[in-house]
A and B are shown apart, each in its own frame.
Chain A
């Protein structure tokens, strides 16, 4: 094997927290006691939690070692499809860490919170402009939470018209969150098949849309990385039967400045600030999932809303038709600051350029690897492309084997086995922040792995070999769960 990005280096073993430490240590500078002690009633007092006692050094070494077992975007290319693992700019972290932002209590009078409120108000406006929608709430904490919020506005809209509906259309390419969200809103999901081109046809939607159906949950661009060409016509069908169009905006990174969903019939959509707007994924959160709506759904958005009058910002609960609250306070403000900083740093031209380069990178990978891997839909893609392990069948090598082998080459694997409509799917989303050189190395790695699949398949079956651990037994983890130590 020729030299690749993935190398081995010294990493250190580290026990579990409670396998370390000595009773009586403390890694915390206890504040001075300047008041007397008031013992609490014995009936109420507990024994205190059984935490280990560690010094500051113990704690710092522990987590430094753990961090070194992780692969992040800052480590290398992380082409996890549908997750938009783009670079998270460092200045954004610095801005979110400013003491006026981190120290802010959420219930202070508005006059004492003008900085954050202005930031939030402007961010809402930017997102409305980017999506072509009329109003925005920043309250949802994540993409799935935004989906729930968006679907709750649809539910409230139908209820408010005095004619609640029972079903919702969900394409077979949808994220699993879509049908799960529909269930939370008491809508029964009706699956709509995508056509041989990987998108929805107007006919398949027209066939199932009726006046018992609340609307459709459309992901655009969809999870095959394809633009839903018929969105406008589909929206007309849905609207003609009194339904609404929900757009899952997880893949907005492909079309900033190119398509505005509000102009092509979408009534409500959510965005993922941790995808399109560069805020870090944090090992699984916190994210932020703003919801953008057209005028007719605005009354239903969560409260409080931010209102502006003559340059003064305040919070208002005065929206009687609102669905209420979806989080205790105002959403993940710390995340919003980073997305705001990103939009201000990029400006309109570079946001559009980001989308163009994201699409260029994905198409470049698609063209470069389609001789090596089976390409599920051979047509121009948006921000991601979907391959499968079809060509490796005779080598008895699976998508999972190739994904694990990629780790040895120094890359995070793509999303695998999703979308479900492609058997053995390998979903690659490079994002715009990967350079041509790094992408070329990734392509080379995949080609080399395909060669290994033919010549030495066990290299793949036994992969990864350079990580902290080898393949893990997920079956027994689920059969006999051990969730605490």
Chain B
């Protein structure tokens, strides 16, 4: 397999509920490319992208259930690995 890492992406709605998630992704994935498109925000990265519960909670100032991500999710690419602390996308 090639060394080039394929892009994974997470697209969320461009709204208030998604903002702390976008900010958490920016903090935890410094390599991620964040694009604002009409109505939605596309966050892409080479090979892997993670949303950490703790970082979102710091941004939002309350407890946050990783599954709340479902409320703003638009699309994704990559294999999903989710547990109570993180939501992660990756290609093998």
Is this pair of chains taken from one and the same complex? no
Please list the residues of chain B having a beta carbon within 8 angstroms of any beta carbon in chain A. Answer: none
**Residues of A near any B CB (own CB < 8 A):** none
